[in-house]
């Protein structure tokens, strides 16, 4: 029987719906696989209710309400440092109060109703509480009202051993995506390194042959993750055999390069590269002493954390 135009259109529409469903399912599976690789701490139901579901613990019930020990308060979900004990004060509000945060550790997110401002961990997005201004509790005139259940505490004698590493592996959005999820990483920042122009813009790096690489600066706790482990992650998340490109991105700014900050880092990187050679990998990665790191524009920072999705030119392939 000959199909009518209406039947043909209906068949086409059914096919389109099926293909769309399969595509969405594939993307969802891919995103779920990435989430499986995220190394966050295991949470109890009560912790998840606050940290993930943005609940609030009962006032005057938190373990850190009257806590006065010297040290650092960290994110319970990812261990990133959030607040110093020197910035804690008594607000008699029922929850721990701080009038300052560790620089870059906390994001301020206006509530949908516009009435309050939520505070979340800049590294993993864990809900912490809310921030208020103009109450004049302290000279800084700011109060971070934080759920105790959202935090851990490291005493002064146990504080983190902070170190820094810098890597370039193609588009810095994707590189940051994977390093932000690594255990022991405290903070990340994307920027430009290795060129001739002072304080370059993205436009200059992309179109004016400044010689810079898109790079990622990683601050990490050396007591929880080693520089060697970070080097291994660097090689596992990009194609280090490619010269001046990564996937569809082509140009000198997308080169593979390790910028070492001291001779120990250089030695470690050389050691990892030798292991790769023994595994018969071709290596195009450069090893260069770090020069000035220029922070990229704000819209480039935490790109995938803000926009959602997964990197288009980076995947993780287990090598070590």
- Residue 29 is a catalytic residue: no
Nearest to 273 by CA among 286, 261, 263, 264: 286
Strands lying side by side in the sheet with 71-75:
81-84, 71-75, 151-155
- Residue 171 is a catalytic residue: yes
Cα separation values, 214 from 23, 270, 288, 292, Å: 31, 21, 14, 13
Per annotation, catalytic residue among 121, 171, 231, 313: 171
Nearest to 64 by CA among 91, 95, 92: 95
Which neighbouring-strand residues pair with 98?
A: 88, 144
Which neighbouring-strand residues pair with 89?
A: 97
Query: What CA–CA distance (Å, rounded) separates 209 from 194?
Result: 12
**294 three-state secondary structure:** strand
Cα-flanking dihedrals φ and ψ of residue 272, to 5°?
A: -65, -40
Residue carrying the six token digits 């482990």: 229
Per annotation, catalytic residue among 124, 145, 231, 313: 145
| H-helix or E-strand spanning residue 117 | strand 117-121
**β-pairing, 286-289 with 256-260?**
parallel
DSSP 290: -
Helices (H), 37-103: 45-51
- The set of catalytic residues is 145, 171
């Amino acid at each position: 029987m000959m199909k009518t135009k209406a039947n043909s259109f209906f068949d086409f529409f059914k096919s389109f719906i099926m293909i769309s469903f399969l595509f969405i399912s594939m993307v969802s599976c891919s995103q779920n696989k990435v989430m499986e690789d995220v190394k966050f701490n295991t949470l109890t139901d009560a912790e998840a209710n606050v940290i993930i579901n943005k609940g609030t613990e009962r006032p005057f019930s938190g373990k850190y309400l009257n806590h006065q020990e010297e040290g650092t308060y960290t994110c319970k979900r990812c261990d990133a440092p959030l607040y110093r004990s020197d910035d804690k004060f008594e607000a008699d509000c029922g929850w721990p109060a701080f009038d300052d945060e560790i620089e870059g550790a906390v994001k301020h997110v206006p509530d949908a109703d516009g009435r309050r401002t939520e505070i979340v961990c800049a590294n993993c997005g864990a809900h912490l509480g809310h921030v208020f201004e103009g109450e004049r509790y302290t000279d800084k005139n700011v109060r971070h009202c934080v759920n105790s259940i959202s935090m851990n505490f490291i005493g002064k004698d146990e504080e983190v051993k902070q170190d820094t590493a810098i890597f370039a592996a193609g588009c810095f959005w994707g590189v940051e995506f994977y390093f932000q999820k690594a255990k022991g990483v405290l903070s990340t920042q994307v920027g430009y390194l290795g060129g001739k122009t002072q304080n370059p813009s993205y436009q200059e790096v992309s179109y004016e042959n400044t010689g810079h690489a898109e790079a990622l600066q990683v601050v990490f706790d050396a007591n929880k993750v080693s520089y060697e482990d970070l080097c291994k992650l660097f090689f596992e998340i990009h194609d280090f055999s490619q010269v001046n490109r990564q996937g569809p991105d082509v140009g000198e700014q997308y080169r593979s390069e390790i910028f070492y900050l001291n001779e120990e880092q250089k030695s470690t990187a050389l050691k990892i590269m030798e292991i790769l050679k023994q595994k018969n990998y071709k290596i195009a990665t450069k090893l260069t002493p770090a020069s000035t790191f220029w922070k990229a524009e704000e819209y480039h920072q935490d790109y995938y954390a803000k926009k959602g999705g997964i990197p288009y030119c980076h995947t993780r392939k287990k090598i070590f």
